[in-house]
Structure 1
Amino acid sequence: MSSKEDKDSQSLHPDSATTHRRRGSSIGKINVGDTGSPSFSTMHTSKVQRKKSEARILELSEESKSDAAIVKKIYVAFTELAYRHTWIVPFIVLALSLATFYLSSPESETHQFLAKLMIPSYKIEGTDQYGKGVNDFYFVGFYSIFFTFTREFFMCCILRPLGLYFGLKKEAKLKRFMEQTYVSCYNACSGPFGIWIMSKLPIWLFETTPIYETYPHFTHDIYFKIYYLGQAAFWVQQSIVLVLQLEKPRKDFYELVFHHIVTIALIWNSYRFHFTWMGLEIFITMDVSDFFLASSKSLNYVNFPYTGPYFLMFVFIWIYLRHYVNLKILYSVLTTFKTVGEWELNWETQQYKCYISQPIVFFLIAALQLVNIYWLFLIFRILWRYVSVDGGPQDERSDDESESDTESDESNEEESKKVQ
């Protein structure tokens, strides 16, 4: 084909050249931590789901002559409403729980059970400290529902209109913008909160020796406990959604699942066996780096003019937090873990800093580091293409997804118009 024909072809299909170039380089390809998990509202919509929605709409348009038909219509209408607005069901669960809690007698079993779900347990009388126990599982479970509601409400009611305001018309790109912007909003809150908690402790600026000097950490103040269990709830919710996204896995889906498994294992083990100061440091490295990653993606979606320099700043922050600080913690597990503080296994006194816990802690952090190294490779590949090939970091999650996203755009856009 001649050069003139090439130009004519590109003028008839303006997206073709752009799409081809975008497959070579992508900020969106790096699915780091929670950024790889969609919400229910941004998951791929199958043909079966769309047909069911069309059938419900058709049923609602039919005339109802009996009371039973009207009741059935109400149920169908609610099902369709919940399908379009995914925040409604978790909102109802939360609202009913709160209403029951405040309206029930404080002495009743129902009220006391709901208190386990909503309020941190094991307050130590006469102090500002809280202990640990089985009720913490209830707390994590309830706030997993809370994060489901928060995420879906943001997606449907705030981030979708915001994306449309910025001119994101393609449904696939709009969904990715919603996912990454929510992640950056969450980390914009959790990151500074974690840093503030760390600033009040001897481990400020990621010191590692105090972790072992004062081990074990049986109790924490309410801010530390809420932060730690809140993080657990967030990651549990993300992991559930990630597993449910089986119909359209991303290119590094298995690495992402592995990352979530390791993270939850770190959360549970560090909390149960009193290594929470170490866990706090790792949380902060993840939250802060995830904020800059997710926000760089969001800025790229809306064609922010300084996406390149912002992405370069993210690379430095990522390397410092996800690699330097994490390797510093990993090195301390090999050295000061044994030499500083007590070194024994005593189940009665809950002293677990011993020959058993050392290799377990090392393995979990090392596993997390391996996944981070894999993502660092992707980051450097994007950075290289930005400097030498594309002239800017482009935006695709993976080669495999771009085509399927394009194919489903028309049906998804048609559905989104109905929702709006």
Structure 2
Amino acid sequence: MSSSSLTLPHGSHSPSSSSFSPIEKQILGNKHNQPSLKHRKGVLGMMARHQIDGPLIVVLAILGTYALFPNSFAKKFLFFQHYDAATQTYEKAWEDLYFLFFWVTAFTFLRASVMTYVLMPMARRLGATTERTILRFAEQGWICIYYSCSWALGMYCIQLTPTWNNWLIWFHTDQFFDSYPLTALPVITKYYYWLQFSFWVQQMFVLCVEAPRKDFLAMIGHHLVTVMLITFSLTLNVTTFGTAVFVSMDLADIVLSLGKCFKYIGMPDSICDPIFACFMFIWIYTRHFLYGHIIYAWTLYGGDYCSRITHFTIIGLLLTLQALMFFWLWSIFRIVYKMFANKGGVVDDRSEDEDQPDTVPVHVHHDSKHQH
């Protein structure tokens, strides 16, 4: 078998599996691979198997309808309504949920297709040789691409507000409620915010259909809290807070995913370890120091703009998110300890157990000529 191809799990050539397609063999072939099997039953299994073609049909249907009938209902899925030309802003409206639906669907298609047809072939060309490393490279590559775009756009949006301070301390904490309530948002901020909302809702789907990591419960808790905070920020018209949270969280993920990609293609520790050290500094600075400024601002001023129950609910969610960040910070310190103790370089400490073989996600296709 070619070293650049994807391997099938052991046992996938049993007689009972002969009626399955090549992709189904990879999913069902190993009886010990329970997490993959568990998360691909019923409706979720069907959705996992059609992460490319299913969303593509929906996206093309909406785009085609809009192309043929520009003033039809399809327009609501692609553009926000209630534009105020005088202020060049979009007012908040329930129709915004159509945009959310479209981009949750679009992100599902984009992630699966980019991983399958761009990042996995790239991983093979760059030297990844096992199914595990090819898949991990694709996952982290997608994260790196998305967060690089979202962080750059988010920083542009936050610098349009009085909240922006400087590159040392990003936020003026006393300006988070400037122009409250923000029922109308500038065009670029409106699209940025709802694209982020769509991405995080889509990430919930990803967690449900793919094999869980060791920190699955922490991840699902993190995603739930994030989606709740986004929903509250839109409902309470405090999207400046939300934008600040986004930019303080995204930067560390860019560096971490880049370092992991280098690790998966066999780059030496002399390159990967400095990237990880940079990641550690950025993580502590953005997710604890800068994010701490955001929690402080809401705690100090938020009670003047909402009810007592809402105020303390938001504080609870913000602190829960910070607690999860400390949980992962402890994992980072463990990785550093192992790195120096074993001199083995950076290891993804939250991946599945090594003795549990990964399977290629059901949306990932490869040429059957590479099979055994």
Q: TM-score range by the shorter chain?
A: 0.7 to 0.9
Equivalent residue of 1:353, what SS? coil
Partner of 2:93: 133
Which whole-Å CA distance do the structure 1 matches of 2:276 and 2:115 have between them? Answer: 24
Partner of 1:418: 368
Q: 1:169-220 deviations in whole A, cap 9, x for unaligned?
A: 2112211110001100101111010001111111112222111243221111
Equivalent residue of 2:357, what SS? helix
* Alignment: residue pair count: 329
Distance 1:97 1:289, change over 3 A: same
Partner of 1:270: 233
Equivalent residue of 1:356, what SS? helix
Q: 1:221-241 deviations in whole A, cap 9, x for unaligned?
A: 110000000001111111012
Which whole-Å CA distance do the structure 2 matches of 1:308 and 1:233 have between them? Answer: 33
Report if the CA contact (8 A) 1:301-1:395 is conserved. no
Distance 1:213 1:105, change over 3 A: closer
Partner of 2:284: 319
Superposition map of 1:341-360 within 5 A:
343=304, 352-360=305-313
Partner of 1:287: 250
Match of 2:323 among 367, 370, 380: 370
With normalisation by structure 2, the TM-score equals 0.81
Partner of 2:60: 95
Partner of 1:300: 263
Partner of 1:52: 20
Instruction: Indicate the percent of aligned positions where both proteins have the same amino acid.
Output: 31
Partner of 1:4: none
Equivalent residue of 1:130, what SS? strand
Which whole-Å CA distance do the structure 1 matches of 2:141 and 2:200 have between them? Answer: 17
Partner of 2:300: 335
Q: 1:231-269 deviations in whole A, cap 9, x for unaligned?
A: 011111110121223xx3211111111111000001111
Equivalent residue of 2:148, what SS? helix
Question: How many angstroms does 1:390 deviate by?
Answer: 2.2
2:169 is equivalent to residue 219 of structure 1: no
Partner of 2:139: 179
Equivalent residue of 1:404, what SS? coil
Match of 2:354 among 397, 402, 406: 402
Report if the CA contact (8 A) 2:176-2:297 is conserved. no
2:202 is equivalent to residue 237 of structure 1: yes
Question: How many angstroms does 1:296 deviate by?
Answer: 1.3
- Unpaired segments ≥5 residues, structure 1: 1-43, 58-81, 344-351
Report if the CA contact (8 A) 2:141-2:258 is conserved. yes
Partner of 1:122: 82
Distance 1:206 1:303, change over 3 A: farther
Match of 1:206 among 171, 174, 178: 171
With normalisation by structure 1, the TM-score equals 0.72
Distance 1:370 1:244, change over 3 A: same
Q: 1:338-381 deviations in whole A, cap 9, x for unaligned?
A: 4xxxx3xxxxxxxx433232101111111111111100000111
Distance 1:55 1:392, change over 3 A: closer
Report if the CA contact (8 A) 2:215-2:350 is conserved. no
Which whole-Å CA distance do the structure 2 matches of 1:190 and 1:49 have between them? Answer: 43
Which whole-Å CA distance do the structure 1 matches of 2:90 and 2:260 have between them? Answer: 39
Question: How many angstroms does 1:316 deviate by?
Answer: 0.3
- Unpaired segments ≥5 residues, structure 2: 1-8, 26-46, 165-169
Match of 2:213 among 224, 246, 250: 250
Question: How many angstroms does 1:285 deviate by?
Answer: 1.2
Question: How many angstroms does 1:49 deviate by?
Answer: 9.1
Distance 1:127 1:55, change over 3 A: closer
Partner of 1:159: 119
Question: How many angstroms does 1:84 deviate by?
Answer: 8.3
Report if the CA contact (8 A) 2:77-2:98 is conserved. yes
Distance 1:84 1:156, change over 3 A: farther
Distance 1:49 1:224, change over 3 A: farther
Q: 1:81-134 deviations in whole A, cap 9, x for unaligned?
A: x9988423322321221111111262xxxx1x2111110122124220111111
Distance 1:291 1:105, change over 3 A: closer
Report if the CA contact (8 A) 2:48-2:209 is conserved. no
Report if the CA contact (8 A) 1:84-1:419 is conserved. no
Distance 1:85 1:250, change over 3 A: same
Equivalent residue of 1:402, what SS? coil
Report if the CA contact (8 A) 1:85-1:156 is conserved. no
Which whole-Å CA distance do the structure 1 matches of 2:272 and 2:117 have between them? Answer: 26
Match of 2:275 among 299, 303, 310: 310
